[in-house]
Homo-oligomer: A and B are copies of this chain.
Amino acid sequence: MDFKTEFNNKVNTVNTYLEKYLENKTDVPATILESMRYSLFAGGKRIRPVLMMASYELFEDNTDVVMPFACALEMIHTYSLIHDDLPAMDNSDLRRGRKTNHIVFGEAIAVLAGDALLNYAFETMLSSAVANSEKTIRAAAYMATCSGIGGMIGGQVIDILSENKVIDETTMQELHTKKTGALIRSGAICGAICAGADEGKIKLLEEYALNLGLAFQIKDDILDVEGDVSKLGKPTGGDTELCKNTYVSLYGIDRAKEMLEESTNKAKALLGEFGKKASFLIDFTDYLLKRDN
């Protein structure tokens, strides 16, 4: 199977599970589900859950076990976008070419839809953990740490506090390792934990994820400067406008492009250990390097 077909198959699997988890419930106000679904099915690339499935498949075949965790990761990613777009945060009206959640549903429901997605991520993982073995609990705990104050939320705080300030290299590294990197990392690691990978392999995947996350963020920063608005689905130049610290603002566009290549190559090299089993993940790593949105 070629990369594109396998990628699309995985995306379809993610969407099917998300549909199942987010189908109509009679005991839930329709508005909150509608608002959650609006952002969850807004054309996200499903990069994080696909990464988790792929890391799982380095060790095991039957992906049923990992799907609650893959979907939870996408819910956490989506909630962070809804809250990020709020007037008090990045104040964005547009995402993926569509109106942002608070523009459509109002700020109050947007705050709650974000809260609801974060909470529902844990509901989904924990329902699975109750039915399954100890591995799944370890995965849920790992994800909680990645999405929390020492991970994504911590990164968002550094981001907000650094606006209109020039920050040093170390702070910026920490910002992105946490803000974007932590969820990427939980994708690579929770898949492996669910599949029962040994500690050595998990360490190796953590280093892979660190480089992948770095490449991902640099690419994001480059797209904000050089991207095609019609493909991005949002205006470019937002980082400059908000005086955000980016790899482009700190190192310049040429050095940023070099760093993107370097970290992508380092990530791919680390997968060598897995031989042919890692061919999807290697293509996936390249795909993130070349994406246009």
Contacts and interface: CB of A to CB of B under 8 A. Distances in A.
Nearest to A126: B141
A33 B111 contact: no
A86 interface: yes
A31 interface: yes
B123 A141 contact: yes
A130 B141 CA distance: 7
Contact of A153 (B32, B86, B148, B160): B32
Given A126-B137, A140-B126, A157 B29 contact: yes
A103 B98 CA distance: 31
A104 B114 CA distance: 22
Given A112-B160, A148-B116, A32 B154 contact: yes
A88 interface: yes
A29 B122 contact: no
A107 B140 CA distance: 29
Interface string A126-144: 1101100010011011001
A156 interface: yes
Contact of A89 (B27, B31, B108, B114): B108
A130 B122 contact: no
Q: 7 closest A-B pairs (Cβ-Cβ)?
A: A88-B107, A126-B141, A119-B148, A123-B144, A29-B157, A32-B157, A122-B144
A275 B148 CA distance: 42
Given A89-B108, A138-B130, A32 B149 contact: yes
Secondary structure call for the A interface: helix
Contacts of A140: 122, 126
A288 interface: no
A36 B114 CA distance: 18
Nearest to A156: B112
A38 interface: no
A132 to B, nearest CB: 10
Contacts of A109: 157, 160
Given A123-B145, A137-B129, A28 B154 contact: yes
24 contacts: A27-B150, A29-B154, A29-B157, A31-B157, A31-B161, A32-B149, A36-B149, A79-B115, A86-B111, A88-B107, A89-B111, A112-B156, A115-B118, A118-B118, A119-B144, A119-B148, A119-B149, A120-B148, A122-B122, A123-B144, A126-B140, A126-B141, A129-B137, A129-B141
